[in-house]
Structure 1
Amino acid sequence: MSLVLLAACGNSPKDITEATPSEAAARIRTMEDSLYAHPAVDVKGAQALVDVYLLFAKTNPTDPLAPEYLLRAAGVKSALNDPQAAVELYDRIIKGYPEWSKLVDAYYLRAFTIDSGLHIKGLAQQAYEEVINRFADHKFAADAKQMIQNLNYTDEELIAKFQRMNDSTEAAAAAK
């Protein structure tokens, strides 16, 4: 794996485990820039980036970037249609970094991924309720309440609901 990471992270003879956290972060930024510069999905590149994020967090668990990179890894795993791995990464952040300033993001994205990726409505409702209970004053609490209401609808019913809302908004704007 270190050869892949070495190749992915640049031409330096040091692999990411030997790099300082700031050197590793710079290499990760280079990988991100390269991956996101192309509109097509590069599955191998995305997985290599996830591997580097995870290796950074393992090698530098107390670095302030560790939970951020775990969050990014979870997002990439969701984009790669691996919601179970994403949820596991959100859980890792929640357990390992309970004081992290963006912890609410991990809780909310965990709930959303359980809902939209795993399609486990009961567990999604519990996860959304946890967001509401833990972060009552955060904007994600209001979003979580709305998501709970939407759990009862099928995709077709949600589309119809949003179309009606859009139509009424357009009608109100036209009446002015």
Structure 2
Amino acid sequence: QNPIEQEGTYPLPEAQLDRFMLELSIGYPTRQEEEEIAMRTTGDGVTQLRPVVAGAELIELQHLVRRIPAPPSLVSFAVRLARSTRPEDELAPPLIRKYASWGAGPRASQFLVLGAKARAAARGSALPTVDDVRSVAPGVLAHRLVLNFEAEADARTTRDVVAELVQTSASWT
């Protein structure tokens, strides 16, 4: 989001945002963490960095996640969830028809499944569940949803709308 010829950050267009799997929101550190950051970064010493994981290991972890099987019912759920963000889709609930002007594309379905697989692996499970899809949905869907003026007037954010959509999805299974 930083053009080389200009200073500052600028929002990416929707087509470019769609290429990112997740939008993560990292809040401020705690007071204690911030004090530690200030202590470690304002001295004259050189901090030794140690890799957490080697590049080859990271690639292998990515392949491992892709090898985890996704049951057809999970894929169907992920596709339904992604499609239900599109206001013109027959699956769109009233919430989306009211507040969304643009929904998530097919990459969202792919990333919901991959995210669910990764979450399952992190839990130590070889089988992703619908709860894994629901858990990754805010990060996968929020930056793909474009809200209309009515949502802005009602002070609704994309995260609010996705959270409500995920809650609604509990009745689908």
TM-score, L = length of structure 1: 0.24
TM-score, L = length of structure 2: 0.25
Bigger relative CO (Cα 8 Å, ≥ 6 apart):
2
